[in-house]
Amino acid sequence: MTSGLTPRRVATSVTLSSVSRRGWGSMSGCWWAEPVARLTGLGLVAMLGRRVGGVRAGSVGHLYALTTAGHRFLALQNGGPEPPRRQPSHTPGELSLIHTLAVSGVYVDLIEHTHTGTFSVHSFSTEPHCWHPTGSGGYLRPDAYVILRTGAVGHCWWPEIDAGTETAPRLRAKIRTYRDYLTSGGVGPDHVPPHVLFTTPDQQRADQITDLLTDDDDTTTATTNTEAATYMIRELHHTSDV
């Protein structure tokens, strides 16, 4: 269940409960509370000093983050090196929090869809590990690098989690940077060109970003945060059917 915190190490209790369904499976009453309490009791996660949705949000509005022990546990579980000791978890700022939870939400949505057995989440890395050199001294800085697989087919993505705060000129510049790199033969970490997916808080914002794309730009698309996982899965299956 700590995998629900893997992308950015912060999640709501709702997010954690979504992941816990696969491990505990209880759906009665506050079915999510037991696994969350168990992780807290083991010292793998800690409750942060704020809630989502205000003081009336209740327990489901609590935020949790990995502790130092949680980071070490995940490193051992994933076969990686033991991470350096970290300072105690702190509450991020408002914009950072919104962005972090959006990234975690996409990850958890993808994991939840794997119960269909039709695909797997082969990789989901986040910044700064997903940043990619352009070869000219600069870096592309997506919010994640995702690989989905079905059978022998894989599909790579660079998600850009948009919080609706960036201006149109800045978005155009970001879109152009990706397009120039990918249309000039640039590839991602696995030597294939990933598709860039802007995810947004609502459809209106997704439409605004779509309007910034040129008609011949097939490197980038936009959808909402809630539809991001479904979109990526659908494109994966479409590729496997071709």
pLDDT tens for each residue of 174-216: 999 999 999 999 999 999 999 999 999 999 999 999 999 988 8
* Tokens coding 212: 């910034």
The mean per-residue pLDDT over the stretch 157-163 comes to 96
- Please state, in angstroms and rounded to a whole number, the distance separating the CA atoms of residues 145 and 196: 10
Contact 1, 73 (CB under 8 A): no
How much is the pLDDT for 33?
Answer: 66
Element (H, E) at 230: helix 228-241
- Please state, in angstroms and rounded to a whole number, the distance separating the CA atoms of residues 164 and 168: 10
pLDDT band at 17 (very low <50, low <70, confident <90, very high): low
Contact 220, 172 (CB under 8 A): no
- Please state, in angstroms and rounded to a whole number, the distance separating the CA atoms of residues 33 and 45: 13
Predicted TM-score (pTM) of this structure: 0.76
Residue pointed to by tokens 């959006």: 102
The mean per-residue pLDDT over the stretch 38-67 comes to 67
How much is the pLDDT for 29?
Answer: 43
Is residue 53's pLDDT more than 70?
Answer: no
Question: What's the CATH number for 2-91?
Answer: 1.10.10
- Domains of the chain, by residue range, sit at 2-91, 102-107+117-241
- Please state, in angstroms and rounded to a whole number, the distance separating the CA atoms of residues 83 and 69: 10
Contact 228, 109 (CB under 8 A): yes
How much is the pLDDT for 207?
Answer: 97
Q: Which CATH number fits domain 102-107+117-241: 3.40.1350, 1.10.287, 1.10.1220, 3.90.1150?
A: 3.40.1350
